[in-house]
Amino acid sequence: MNVLFAHKVDRLGSHRVIEPAGALPQNAIKLDNTPIPFENEILCEVEALNIDSASFRQISESNDGDARRIGDHIMQTVKERGKQHNPVTGSGGMFIGEVLSIGAQLRERIDLRAGDRIASLVSLTLTPLWIDAVKDVDTATGRVWICGKAILFESGIWAKLPGDIQTEVVLATLDVAGAPAQVRRMAKPGDSVLVIGADGKSGMLACAQAKMATGGSGRVVGVVPDAGTESARLLIEENLVDALVEADAREVLNLVDKVHAALPDLAHLTVNCVNCAGTELSSIICTRENGTVYFFSMATSFTAAALGAEGVGKDVTMIVGNGYAKGHAELALQTLRDHPAIHAYFRKRYAPAQHFEQGN
C-alpha cells in the first residue's frame, strides 16, 4: 500500500506509519515500505543488511541455523511490518547500499548525491525496507545480502563508505559504533573496566577504547565464553585487555568469583556486549558500589536490571546503550585504523560468504 500524499511529510517519517495511528516509525507495528521516495526522503538500493546480533541469534535459533529458512523468516518479517523489526528481540540492524535518489526538499541541504555508497546509521527497526529477494545469508556473521530498497528519512543519519576500509568491515563496525564511542566517554584514567562479551564486534572495539581511556594506571578485563578463540587470544596478544575471564556470563556466582580474582575491588565501569539474555545481574554484581553499568546489549531486560540491582542492594548507575553518540561512526572506524590487528581480524571474520538465490 502506498500512502503517498495521504499525510504531510514529516522529518521523522511519521507519514510512513500505517499502524498504529500516532506512532513514529520505530515504535510502529507496520510501515509503508513502498520504494518511491517522498520529497524529503532518500531512496537507496540495498546491498546488504547487518542483522543485530541479538536478533540474528534469535532468528537463527528458531530456524535451526538454516540459512534459507533464516532468509525466509526475514522476508516474512519485512512483508508483515515493512521493516526488519524483530518482534521478539525488538531490535533491527543497519544496511549498506547506494543512493538512488534524493527528494527535492532534501537534495540541496545534504552532502549526498545519487550514486554515493552509504551505511545507514539508524536502526532497521525504523527503516522502510522492500525486499525483492534474499541472495545470501551468512549464518556466522548475521550478514544478509539482498535485492531490495530502503528509505531514509530527513532525520535519518548515514555515513559515506570510506575508501580505506572494506565495505563488509564497515558494515560490521558501524552497526556497533555506539559502544566504543560511549566507552570512550565513560571510562576515566585509572578506572577498572569490565567488558562482558569482550570477543564480539562491539566488545573488541569497547576494549580498545577502554584501554586508551583508562591509560597505564587503569585495568581492563574481558569476559569471554571461550578464552581459546582467535578473537579472545587477540585481545591478550594486542594488549587490549589486561586479563580475560573465561565464563558464561549467565552464571552469576561463578562469574563474580572469577571477576573478583581479576578485579578484587570490582569494576568502576561494566560494559555489557553479549548477544544473549540473562546477564543483567552478572553485570550489576561485578560492578563496584556507585559504579556504572552500560548495557549495550539488545538482549537487556529493563525489569531484570532494575529489580536485580534492587534485589542485591547495589547502588549503581545503569545506562541504556544508546546506539548513537556524536561522532560515533568516525570514532569506530578510527579504532580499526589505530588497531591493525583488530582490523585484520574483522576483515577475515566478516568477509563475504558463498551466495545463493532465494525467491521473491
Kindly list the residues in this chain that would bind ligand NAP in the complex (CB under 6 A).
52-54, 91, 175-176, 178, 197, 199-203, 223, 225-226, 248-250, 273-276, 296-299, 321, 323
Instruction: State the nearest-atom distance from the C-beta of 318 to ligand NAP, in Å.
Output: 13
State which residue, 212 or 259, has the beta carbon closest to ligand NAP: 259
Q: What's the min distance (Å) between Cβ of 312 and ligand NAP?
A: 19
Burial class (CB in 10 A: 0-12, 13-18, 19+), 111: exposed
Q: Cβ of residue 219: shortest distance to ligand NAP, in angstroms?
A: 19
CA distance 93 to 57: 12
- CA angle 337-53-243, nearest 5°? 60
Q: Which amino acid is at 298?
A: M
| β partners of residue 98 | 45, 117
Q: Is 319 helix (H, G, I), strand (E, B) or coil?
A: strand
**Which CB, 55 or 358, lies closer to ligand NAP?**
55
Identity of the residue, 228 or 313, whose beta carbon is nearer to ligand NAP in the bound complex: 228
Residues in contact with 108: Cβ distance below 8 Å, sequence separation at least 6, in sequence order:
none
- Minimal distance in Å, beta carbon 324 to ligand NAP? 8
Closest contact distance (angstroms) between CB of 115 and ligand NAP is 28
Q: Is 93 exposed, middle or buried (0-12, 13-18, 19+ CB in 10 A)?
A: buried
Distance CA 266, CA 35 (A): 51
State the nearest-atom distance from the C-beta of 197 to ligand NAP, in Å.
Answer: 3
Of 102 and 205, nearer to ligand NAP (C-beta) is 205
Residue nearest to ligand NAP (CB): 200
In this complex, which beta carbon is closest to ligand NAP, that of residue 112 or of residue 227? 227
Q: Which is nearer to ligand NAP, 38 or 56 (CB)?
A: 56
Residue 146, beta-bridge partner list: 134
Which residues are CB-neighbours of 212 under 8 A, at least 6 positions away? Answer: 184
